[in-house]
């Protein structure tokens, strides 16, 4: 009988495996992009159905804040309580000694002293623990721009408006929940958002021939 | 004292590298899962504006991009142009583009479709307004002004 020879399983040389997987790794690193897109979210109004609807926008004067950005990126804020004028973006952000746009917006939205020339306070129930609080439910911030306003300035103003709302929400979160807004549960955040909804209107473009843009 | 003299050449112990491929594969899979493939090559140059209050866009598959800027190819002029998918386009093309993109999404996801406007910071607002109007007509109402995170 032939004696069964113990055959050795040949050893697979796996030393190049590491090199192959390194190559794959590098390929994926190069072809993929890590960057996540971030931005300021907005919701556009649906397209106007008819001519009459265009005219409809009927807001009480005291509830309206108009933010105008002109072709030189100068900013004008008009409310019934008074006008403010910023020569450039830095001034709007409070670097020139003027009241920051953010703080103007916050006062406008809160109307803490119930002034007659700031938005109307209406008491609404937002559920526990916020309960019934007076809010300016009908306020509108209308952002208008010239044809040659730079996108940069527009975004800077948008950012400033969003910042005002974010700070309001954060303050409310600390007051009612004792926590920062970011640490709240989604339902609680939703509750706060309902209390201070972002009411920024993206105005219909107008004919700016009188605006001096061209 | 002889105790301390070396008896013979000591051999360097061999490093066992058999688990190295496994480790690299683990890293590879991590990257494959966490990143998305670069889908389009930019044909316009844009520097995004900075903003401090930006939010991350969730669910990339629902996001459609509109790139606005100056063409990289100088032969195409120095005016503001828009890139949809892989070609330069006009504002009148937006509606069709949005309809196409919407078609790709499942029925349930269509309402969450977001359009991310990636525009150069020196673009004139006239152009952006026109784009916005076209988006409204196409009923793409959820938009995001793409911006870099930064203090301003």
User: What per-residue confidence (pLDDT) applies to A54?
Assistant: 52
In this predicted structure, the answer to whether residue A207 has a pLDDT above a threshold of 50 is no
Closest in A47, A149, A163 to B52, CB measured = A163
Q: Is the pLDDT score of A64 beyond 70?
A: yes
Residue A155 CA to residue A159 CA, distance in Å, equals 6
Residue A57 confidence (pLDDT) above 80: no
Total-model pTM = 0.75
Identify all chain B residues contacting A158, using CB atoms and an 8 Å cutoff.
51, 145
pLDDT tens by residue, B38-89: 566 788 888 888 888 888 887 777 888 888 988 888 888 888 888 887 788 8
Closest residue in chain B to residue A38, using alpha carbons only: B56
Tell me the pLDDT of chain B averaged across its residues.
82
**Closest CA of chain B from A10, distance in Å:** 16
Residue A145 lies in a domain: yes
Please give the tally of structural domains in chain A: 1
A152 part of a folded domain: yes
The reported pLDDT for the residue numbered A50 is 59
Q: Do A158 and B28 touch (CB under 8 A)?
A: no
CB-based contact A18 B20, cutoff 8 Å: yes
Instruction: Give me the count of residues in chain A.
Output: 214
Coil/strand/helix, residue A162: helix
CA atoms of B129 and A44, how far apart (whole Å): 11
Which of B15, B66, B116, B147 to mutate: most A Cβ within 10 Å? B147
Residue A10 placed within a domain: no
Query: Could you tell me the pLDDT band of residue A109, with boundaries at 50, 70 and 90?
Result: confident
The closest of A65, A143, A74 to A106, measured between CA atoms, is A65
Asked if the model's pLDDT at residue A212 lies above 60, the reply is no
Kindly identify which residue of chain B lies nearest to residue A17, measuring between CA atoms: B21
The answer to whether the peptide bond before residue B61 is cis (omega within 30 degrees of 0) is no
The band of A93, judged by pLDDT with boundaries at 50, 70 and 90, is confident
Calpha distance B99→B94 (Å, rounded): 8
Q: Per-residue pLDDT for B123 more than 80?
A: yes
Find residues 10-69 of chain A whose CB sits inside 8 Å of chain B: 14-15, 17-18, 20-22, 24-25, 28-29, 31-34, 36-47, 69
Which candidate from A36, A46, A163 shows the least CB-CB separation from B56? A36
> How many residue contacts between A and B have a Cβ separation below 8 Å?
159
Q: What percent of chain A has pLDDT over 70?
A: 85
What average pLDDT does chain A have?
79
CA dist A30 to A21, A162, A208, B8, B46, Å? 14, 36, 47, 49, 21
Stretch A45-57: mean pLDDT, rounded? 62
Among partner residues B21, B63, B132, which is closest to A202 by beta-carbon distance?
Answer: B132
- From the CA of A32, how many Å to the nearest CA of chain B? 4
**φ, ψ (nearest 5 deg) of residue B62:** -90, -5
**Residue A54 vs residue A88, higher pLDDT:** A88
A132-165 per-position pLDDT tens digit: 888 888 888 888 888 888 888 888 888 888 889 8
Q: Give how far B9 is from chain A: nearest CA, Å.
A: 27
Give dist(CA A203, CA B91) in Å, integer: 19
Between these two residues, A204 and A148, which has the higher pLDDT value?
A148
| pLDDT recorded at residue A52 | 54
Tell me, yes or no, whether A116 lies in a domain.
yes
Q: Is residue A175 part of a domain?
A: yes
Q: In this predicted complex, what is the ipTM?
A: 0.73
Q: Is the CB of residue A86 less than 8 Å from the CB of residue A78?
A: no
Domain enclosing residue A156, as ranges: 62-203
Of B17, B124, B146, the CB nearest to A37: B146
Rounded average pLDDT over A161-178 = 89
Q: Is residue A25 part of a domain?
A: no
On whether the CB atoms of residues B50 and B150 are closer than 8 A, the answer is yes
Q: Which H or E element spans position B14?
A: none
Is the pLDDT assigned to residue A107 strictly greater than 50?
yes
Decide if pLDDT at A4 tops 80: no
Q: Mean per-residue pLDDT for A11-29?
A: 79
CB spacing of B143 vs A41 below 8 angstroms: yes
What is the pLDDT confidence band of residue A122, given thresholds at 50, 70 and 90?
Answer: confident
Q: Is the pLDDT of residue B25 over 70?
A: yes
A151:B125 CB<8 A: yes
- Domain assignment present for residue A115? The answer is yes
A98, pLDDT greater than 70: yes
Judge whether residue B34 has pLDDT over 80: no
CA distance A142 to A203: 6
Confidence of residue A211 (pLDDT cuts 50, 70, 90): very low
pLDDT band for position A209 (50/70/90)? very low
> Of A110, A114, A111, A134, which Cα lies nearest the Cα of A122?
A134
Chain A residues inside the 8 Å CB shell of B141: 43-46
Write down the pLDDT at residue A213. Answer: 35
Answer whether B38 sits within 8 Å of A24, measured CB to CB.
Answer: no
The pLDDT, as a whole number, for residue B5 is 61
Residues of A in contact with B17 (CB under 8 A): 15, 18
How many angstroms away from the CA of A116 is the closest CA of chain B? 31
């Amino acid at each position: 009988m032939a004696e069964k020879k113990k055959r050795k399983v040949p050893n697979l040389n796996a030393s190049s495996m590491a090199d192959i997987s390194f190559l794959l790794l590098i390929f994926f690193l190069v072809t993929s992009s890590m960057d996540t897109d971030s931005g300021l979210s907005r919701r556009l109004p649906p397209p106007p159905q008819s001519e009459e609807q265009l005219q409809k926008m009927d807001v009480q004067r005291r509830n309206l804040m108009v933010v105008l950005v002109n072709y030189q990126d100068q900013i004008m804020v008009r409310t019934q309580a008074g006008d403010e004028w910023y020569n450039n973006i830095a001034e709007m952000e409070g670097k020139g000694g003027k009241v920051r746009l953010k703080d103007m917006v916050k006062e406008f939205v809160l109307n803490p002293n119930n002034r007659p020339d700031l938005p109307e306070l209406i008491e609404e129930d937002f559920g526990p623990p916020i309960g019934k609080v007076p809010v300016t439910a009908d306020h509108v911030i209308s952002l208008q721009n010239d044809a040659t306003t730079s996108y940069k300035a527009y975004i800077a103003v948008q950012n400033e408006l969003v910042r005002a709302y974010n700070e309001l929400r954060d303050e409310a979160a600390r007051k009612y929940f004792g926590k920062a807004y970011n640490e709240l549960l989604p339902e609680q955040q939703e509750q706060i958002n309902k209390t201070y909804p972002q009411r920024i209107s993206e105005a219909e473009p107008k004919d700016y021939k009188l605006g001096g843009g061209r | 004292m002889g105790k301390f003299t070396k008896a013979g050449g000591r051999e360097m112990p061999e490093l066992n590298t058999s688990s190295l491929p496994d480790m690299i594969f683990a890293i590879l899979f991590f990257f494959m899962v966490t990143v998305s493939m670069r889908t389009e090559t930019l044909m316009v140059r844009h520097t995004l504006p900075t903003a401090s209050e930006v939010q991350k866009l969730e669910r990339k598959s629902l996001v459609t991009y509109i790139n606005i800027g100056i063409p990289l190819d100088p032969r195409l002029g120095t005016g503001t142009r828009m890139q949809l998918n892989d070609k330069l386009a006009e504002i009148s093309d937006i509606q069709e583009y949005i309809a196409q993109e919407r078609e790709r999404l499942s029925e349930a996801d269509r309402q969450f479709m977001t359009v991310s406007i990636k525009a150069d910071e020196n673009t004139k607002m006239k152009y952006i307004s026109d784009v916005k109007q076209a988006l409204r007509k196409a009923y793409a109402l959820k938009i995001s002004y793409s911006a870099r995170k930064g203090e301003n």
